Structure 1
Amino acid sequence: MTPIIYSKNNCGPCNMLKLALREEGIAYEERNISTSEAFLNELMELGYQSVPIVLVDGKVVANGFEPWKVKEAMQHG
Structure 2
Amino acid sequence: MSVIVYSKPNCIQCIATKRVLDAQGTDYKNIDLSADKNALETVIQLGYREAPVVVVEDKHWSGFRPDLIKQLCAN
TM-score bracket relative to the smaller structure:
0.7 to 0.9
Aligned equivalent of 2:34: 34
Q: Is the 8 A contact 1:56 1:74 kept in 2?
A: no
Moved more, 31-40 or 62-71: 62-71
Give the distance between the partners of 2:18 and 2:74, measured in 1 at CA: 18
Divergent runs of 4+, >6 A = none
TM-score (ref. length: structure 2): 0.87
Aligned equivalent of 2:43: 43
User: Aligned-residue CA RMSD in angstroms?
Assistant: 1.4
Aligned equivalent of 1:64: 63
Identity rate of aligned residues, in percent?
33
Aligned length: 75
Shift of 1:37: 0.4
TM-score (ref. length: structure 1): 0.85
Q: Which structure 1 segments of 5+ residues have no match?
A: none
